[in-house]
Amino acid sequence: MKKEILFSPGPTNVPAEILLAGAKRTIHHRTKEFSVMLEEATKGLGRAFDTKGDIFILTSSGTGGMETAVVNFLSRNDNVLVLNTGAFGRRWVNIVKTYGLVPDVLEYPWGESFKISDVEAKIKEKKYKAVLCQLGETSTGVVNDIKSLGDMVPKDTLLIVDAVSGLLTEEFHMDKWNVDVCVSGSQKGLMMPPGLAFIAVRKGLDDKIGKGDLPSFYFSLVHAKTYGEKGQTPWTPAVNLIYQLNRALEMLEEEGLDNVITRHKNMAQIARKTVVEMGLELFSSAPSNGITAVKVPEGIDGSKLIEHICEKYGVRFANGQREYKGKIIRIAHMGYVTVPDILMALNCLWLGLKKSGFKTKPGAMLSALETAAALD
């Protein structure tokens, strides 16, 4: 029997309620019935982003949402600043370069968050059309300080934030924090299957959509806006994923969006304390609520360890990306994960480490229970 539970930062586990919500007759998308459900979804997402601005639902993975932000708001000759804290920061660089822009990049060693003072210095030096960054840098388990960034970035510079993994795992208030454009996706904190991207545009920016000179068709928000006003999407939407989105939003709102963030904070706390008790070292200097990244101890092959734990126990952790493959383990506690789940996953990590010859401290798992017991 194979029972696999995902502790990977996308895709994340999908609860049965959401799986079943998708198992319904596919309705036609040019109908009143569809418009009603699209409106419900956009309203729910507005609460999740904490914005009064427009929300667009795209049939795409999260990267399509990132590309949408670029092609609808920027021009070839714009000065843009990318705050690159890992693989997804690098993705912003690659997307804007694909469209012919030459970005300035503040690049940080993996495991570090960006520094506001560096951004401030750059912004004093040069006028930027946009600053692009991540709320959660999923490749390293880092959370960036978007609130301080939003306080600092000038009003006429667009702040474009990738919150694909950060939405509903980290505290985030798009409007209050002066974020102009924000992107997310279905397969992370929203505990849905992959396939939808979301893009939120701050109120008052509507007239800036599509005014640049970058080409776009499928990802044009000009079309999305025209159709959105009629309660539709320009192209055939992933109807069944939208059933699932509404069920996911309903479940999260039942829990309470603030409680969802607290749950993620709590699990991160258990994970961080426990791995340190085990004798491991945290990789991130600004650890996120959704992922705990740990360094693989000297002499152990991280890739083999991750595969062993998955094969033996069905617990799927994520490997490091790029040059960190085999060097870090990413334990995602994102989406449909509760305290008992993270305790179980950490036990399996302990078992795997023991099997690999690492001297795990036997008290670590007891201390995990103590940490969990000390939470509300």
Ligand X SMILES: *Cc1c(COP(=O)(O)O)cnc(C)c1O
- Sequence letter at residue 58: L
As a dihedral over the C-alpha atoms of residue 344, residue 347, residue 352, residue 358, rounded to 10 degrees, the angle is 160
Nearer to ligand X, 88 or 317 (CB): 88
Q: How far apart are the first and last CA of the chain?
A: 36
**Tokens 């469209």 appear where?**
99
Map the footprint of ligand X across residues 51-110, applying CB under 6 A: 61-63, 88
Kindly state whether residue 320 participates in binding ligand X, applying the rule CB under 6 A.
no
Instruction: Choose between 235 and 354: whose C-beta lies nearer to ligand X.
Output: 235
Binder of ligand X out of 51, 144, 165, 169 (CB under 6 A): 165
Residue 344 CB, nearest approach to ligand X (Å): 24
CB contact set of 104 (below 8 Å; sequence gap of 6+): 79, 80, 81, 82, 122, 126, 128
What is the per-residue binding string for ligand X in 8-27, x denoting contact by CB under 6 A? -xx-----------------
Q: How far is the CB of 315 from ligand X (least distance, A)?
A: 20
The 174-193 contact track toward ligand X, x by CB under 6 A, reads: -----------x--------
Q: For ligand X, give the closer residue by CB, 135 or 260.
A: 135
Q: Are strands 328-332 and 291-295 parallel, antiparallel or unpaired?
A: antiparallel
Q: How many helices (H) and strands (E) does the chain have?
A: 12, 13
Instruction: Select 34 or 73, whichever has its Cβ closest to ligand X.
Output: 73
**Residue 205, both tokens:** 């920016």
- Kindly state the tokens that stand for 167: 């939405």
Q: Does the footprint of ligand X cover residue 138 (CB under 6 A)? A: yes
Cβ proximity to ligand X: between 139 and 360 the closer is: 139
Q: State the minimum distance, in angstroms, from the CB of residue 185 to ligand X.
A: 5
Q: Shortest Cβ contact with ligand X: which residue?
A: 62
3 state SS of 205: coil
Residue 69: name the closest of 132, 125, 20 by CA: 132
Minimum CB separation from ligand X for residue 353, in Å?
26
Indicate which single residue of 70, 164, 190, 241 sits in contact with ligand X (rule: CB under 6 A).
164
Contacts of 275 by beta carbon, 8 Å cutoff, 6+ apart: 282, 292, 294, 331, 346, 349
Q: Which is nearer to ligand X, 136 or 150 (CB)?
A: 136
CA neighbor of 111 nearest in space, from 264, 335, 323, 257: 323
Q: Which is nearer to ligand X, 238 or 348 (CB)?
A: 238
CB of 146 to ligand X, least distance (A): 12
Residues in binding contact with ligand X, number by CB under 6 A: 13
Among the listed residues 12, 134, 233, 292, the single contact to ligand X using CB under 6 A? 134
Q: Which residues pair with 56 in a beta bridge?
A: 199
CA 82 – CA 105 distance, rounded (Å): 5
Cβ proximity to ligand X, 274 vs 319, nearer residue: 319
Tokens 């069920």 correspond to: 247
By CB under 6 A, name the binding residues for ligand X: 9-10, 61-63, 88, 134, 136, 138, 162, 164-165, 185
